[in-house]
Amino acid sequence: MSAAHHTALLALHYQNDVLHADGLIRVGVEANSPQRQALIEAAGRLLAQARAQGVPIVHVRVGYRPDYADLLCNAPILHNVKRIGAMQTGSWGAQFFDGLAPLPNEFEVHHTRINAFFGSALEPVVRRLGVERLVIAGVATHSVVESTVRHAVDMGYEVAVVASACGAPPATHEASLASMSLIAHIDRDEDWAAVFGAPQAQ
């Protein structure tokens, strides 16, 4: 149980294929763009602040067998993953980005669909933490982040999204944040007191 805090952080897809300059996907974060570096730095600050406040962190990674036998290609985004050979479990591309990887005392969950909860251990892990609120960030804003946010809200959680630690092409990013603002708090100011809240009394 998370006795010290009622909030947990879900860090989604901070992996080499998504964030590294040599990654195969890089959704909306071109190799040499200032937006890419700003996203990486914001994600680092988010993780550091969560650790400083004692907020439990669940790192979610996507990955598939080298033959993609575990990938159901029923959507264009999934067809593209297979076509370009991305996110193969055990490969460099599927590893967490340097500086954004889990610490030994943090949780790691693997999934194979767009929504991080679907068919994964994420729900049991979050339930076990005993939290009421989820802070969610990751890449891409309009895919894994938005689908996971919507699922979390339907599960009964209050949700906050950290805009600066999410990434997608600018127009798509903003449209997704606007859509999610109907169901979640969108943090644009890195106001950690508002994002993470106060620890519960011991």
Half-sphere exposure of 190 (CA within 13 A, CB side): 15
- pLDDT grade for 191, boundaries at 50, 70 and 90: confident
Would you say 160 and 195 are in contact if contact means Cβ atoms under 8 Å apart? yes
pTM as predicted: 0.94
Among 95-99, 114-118, 159-163, 195-199, name the one with the lowest average pLDDT: 195-199
Domain 7-196: give its CATH code: 3.40.50.850
The band of 39, judged by pLDDT with boundaries at 50, 70 and 90, is: very high
Q: What is the 3-state secondary structure (H, E, C) of the chain?
A: CCCCCCEEEEEECCEHHHHCCCCCCCCCCCCCCHHHHHHHHHHHHHHHHHHHCCCCEEEEEECECCCCCCCCCCCHHHHHHHHHCCCECCCCCCCECCCCCCCCCCEEEEECCCCCCCCCCHHHHHHHHCCCEEEEEEECHHHHHHHHHHHHHHCCCEEEEEHHHCECCHHHHHHHHHHHCCCCEEECCCCHHHHHCCCCCC
d(CA 64, CA 77): 14
pLDDT of residue 35: 86
Report the percentage of the chain scoring pLDDT > 90: 84
CB 15 within 8 A of CB 144: no
Structure tokens at 98: 């340097």
How much is the average pLDDT of 51-63?
97
